[in-house]
Structure 1
Amino acid sequence: MATIRIPPVLRPAVGGEREVVAEGADVGAVLTALTEQHPETKAQIFGADGDLNRYVNVYLNDEDVRVLDGLQTAVGASDSLVILPAMAGGAA
C-alpha cells in the first residue's frame, strides 16, 4: 500500500488524518482508492474529465507525476504520494 500525505485543506474530508494508505498499481488507482474511501476528496482531486484537477499537484517520491506518466505512473508498496493544492491569489 502506498502512503498518501494529505494537505491541511483536505484533512477534514479524511477525518483529520495527515496520512492515509491506499492500494493501487499506479497513481490513478491509488487516488481512486482514496476517493472511494473518502468520497469528499473526489471533487478536489479529479476534474469532471477524470484527469487530475488542474489546481492540484501530485508528487510521487518528490517527482511531479505530470512529468512522469501522469495517472499511469507505477506505484510501489513503499512509495509516497503527496497531494498539493495549487496556491493562487494576492493583491493587484
Structure 2
Amino acid sequence: MNIDVKIPAALASECGGARHLYVEVPEEATLGAVLDRVAATHPRLGRRLQDEAGRLRRFVNVYVGDEESRRLQGLETPVRGHDVQILPSIAGG
C-alpha cells in the first residue's frame, strides 16, 4: 500500500525539496511505520519529526486523514486508506 506523506514547505529542504513522499508499507501499517520509512530514506527529515527515543517532537503535528495523530493513537494509529500530512507548529509572540 502506498501512503502519500505531504511535506510542508518549511521542511521540504530536508527531503530534497519534495512536497510529497510516497511510502510503501504493509496494509496493517501504523503511523510509526510510515515515519520510520520516511526517516530511513530522508534521515534529516526524520530527525526533525521524531526525537532520539522515537517520539514525535512536540512542535510537529502529524495528521492521519483529517485527524491529528495525538488525538487518535499517536504513532500506533493505523494509516490504511489515509494520507499523512506533516504540519510544523506555528508560534509567535
With structure 1 as the length reference, what TM-score do the two structures score? 0.90
Distance (Å, rounded) in 2 between the aligned partners of 1:43 and 1:37: 12
RMSD over equivalenced CA pairs, Å: 1.1
Displaced runs of 4 or more, over 4 A: none
TM-score (norm 2): 0.89
Structure 2 residue runs of 5 or longer lacking an equivalent are none
Partners of 2:60 and 2:52 in 1: CA distance: 14
Residue ranges of structure 1 left out of the alignment (5+ in a row): none
The 5 A counterparts of 1:1-92 are: 1-24=2-25, 25-76=29-80, 78-90=81-93
Separation in 2 of the partners of 1:9 and 1:38?
A: 15
Q: Could you report, residue by residue, the CA deviation over 1:32-85 in whole angstroms, capped at 9, with x for unpaired residues? A: 100111111122100122110011000011101111111011112x42000001
How many residue pairs are counted as aligned between the two chains?
A: 89
Residues 23 and 29 of structure 1 are in contact (CA less than 8 Å); yes or no, is this contact kept in structure 2?
Answer: no
Q: Equivalent pairs: percent with the same residue?
A: 39
